[in-house]
Structure 1
């Protein structure tokens, strides 16, 4: 999977699952994930053009969202909220996969740079 595709999928999942969560709970904080999802989607072109600043900003925001989703996960676990667990679990999964893809991409770029002598 490419970083571009990982970001695209993660952004779309965050928008859909976050809006589903907002319509269920009407909690304003439930809008954090869809807003960041829209930011991810807006930054997708930066992955295609290899804009390092955009890519690094998205990586940091993805990590922050991954950390921020832990609290709602514990709340859904305590409340035995199955739909909440599914929503948050899917967002956690896509964020984690996106982070792994991003980090692997950074490692591959560094490795290629070192082997070509640049």
Structure 2
């Protein structure tokens, strides 16, 4: 299991890169929503060492929000049979889910100490 800080960076990169890919392929402005959240998470990555508890909780909230919000585009990609879009949205969700798991395990470990 990787550290929450590393998963924060990887999730932000995945959201930014796949969101931009979706935007340039579909030219839909809603594809930039994950990019926006990815940029916020990327900024959180740089402030993580200063206030780790605060940034971790903010990051978990944002990642959870993105994870849940991506169910709508996922269902649309399934109904449209858009395999490329399904892969993009699925990868973004998997990245967010992995980050959530890492953060929750980190919280549980810190609480047990």
TM range, smaller chain: over 0.9
SS at match of 1:49: coil
Gaps of 5+ in 2: none
Show the 5 A alignment for 1:36-115. Answer: 36-112=37-113
> How many residues are matched?
112
Distance 1:26 1:35 in 2: 16
TM-score by length of 1: 0.90
Distance 1:49 1:101 in 2: 19
Mean Cα deviation higher: 91-100 or 53-62:
53-62
Distance 1:63 1:71 in 2: 14
Gaps of 5+ in 1: 113-118
Q: CA RMSD in A?
A: 1.0
Residue 50 of structure 1: CA displacement?
4.2
- Runs of 4+ aligned structure 1 residues displaced above 4 Å come to none
TM-score by length of 2: 0.94
Larger C-alpha radius of gyration, 1 or 2?
Answer: 1
